[in-house]
Amino acid sequence: MKLNPPQAALYGDCILTVLLSDKDQLDGDVVYYLLFSGSSCRHLTSTKKINSESLQTVTPAHDCCEPVKVSLYASKAGSPALLVTEESFQFVQDEAYDAAQFLATSVGNAESLESSRLLDELQISSRDIQVLDNKVTLAFHHLTLPAGWNVLGLKQPLTEGVPRETLMHFAARLGLLRLAWFLLQQAGGKEALSIQNSGGATPANLALERGFQKLHELFTQEGGTELEGYITASQVIASGDYSVRHHQELDIYSLTVKSQLGVQYGSVDHDIQELQKYMKWHSQQQQQQQQKQNMEKINSLHCLFTNVVMGVAYCPNSWVAKVIYLHSEALTIVINEENDAADREFSCILKHTESDGVVLGVLS
């Protein structure tokens, strides 16, 4: 087994490719898991099979810089997990983690944040900015911020009208969308939006001036509430004896167990069973949420269709609803504008298809 890359940052969420040797490739319907064993905690992650020779997973967030042992286990229903092979792996503190620590401790320090303006002189590509944004935000998620931490770094109310640089200005200056979204969820985040720096600019002003449209929308709430999807960090789905996280993009789960003085870890088989239980529970929760959203869309469809039928004589001829298609709980509504439509009268056609879908057409 070869791990690529052979190390990852403390905050995790790095895609890890597992290259299997010939002897590591097992026949049959087996599921592979990786166990990361550290000095004070261990992590069990699910994997995704890419082909017969490689797997993918997401590195877990770890609590300290150290080498750990990574064990590959093969699990099959009704049989104990089989240890296939082992390899060493390193958790490190990278530049993004250092940057997040510096920024977190610089809140309220005008001199430190003013010095960040020196970054304006650097020519940083948009791709490098996206990488920086993702990594620094992941590092912030992993940091243990002190109790009472505030984006403004204030223990007392801000003096109104006094200009100052804030972390939100820093994010706006570089176009760090994910970091800005994270900061808005923290104490003082929304208050920072109204503060002007020494140049008289608010974070929204800076974002607009520099052409960061999505960031400007986030700051002004012009569609900004839809930006949660830009956060790519694994999300905690359970905590307690086990901390379980889910990486939605790759659909990878991880289970973390912290060591307790005088208490031995449970067996790997037990951890695999626990992880499988949480995976099944979370999948069911997602299905129920999706069904709820689909029902809301279906109800909206019924209201829309009813309104079209009742108001058919009053529909302006500039709008023609071409197709409303509902199939297997998936809903798409397409409305086309027809400026040359001559007929004000509409006919409503309801057609039941042979499948489990229904097509509603409103034609001019």
Q: d(Cα 83, Cα 68) in Å, to the nearest integer? A: 16
Q: d(Cα 287, Cα 273) in Å, to the nearest integer? A: 21
- Alpha-carbon dihedral sign for residues 278, 279, 280, 282: positive
Q: d(Cα 265, Cα 116) in Å, to the nearest integer? A: 45
CATH number of this structure's domain 95-230: 1.25.40
pLDDT tens for the chain, 364 residues long, are: 999 999 999 999 999 999 999 998 888 889 999 999 999 999 999 999 999 899 999 999 999 999 999 999 999 988 999 999 999 999 999 999 999 999 998 887 767 776 666 566 556 777 888 888 999 999 999 998 888 899 988 655 566 667 888 899 999 999 999 999 999 989 999 999 999 988 899 999 999 999 999 999 999 875 444 555 555 678 888 888 889 999 988 999 999 998 876 567 779 999 999 999 999 999 999 888 888 877 776 666 556 555 544 444 344 443 334 334 444 444 444 334 443 433 333 333 333 333 334 334 443 3
Which two tokens mark 146? 């002190």
CATH number of this structure's domain 2-93+234-285: 2.60.40.10
Is the backbone peptide bond immediately before 5 cis, with ω within 30 degrees of 0?
Answer: yes
Q: d(Cα 57, Cα 275) in Å, to the nearest integer? A: 14
DSSP 17: E
Which two tokens mark 87? 């390899």
**Same-fold call for 2-93+234-285 versus 95-230:** no
Which two tokens mark 189? 């985040």
Domain residue ranges in the chain: 2-93+234-285, 95-230, 311-363
Q: d(Cα 316, Cα 310) in Å, to the nearest integer? A: 14
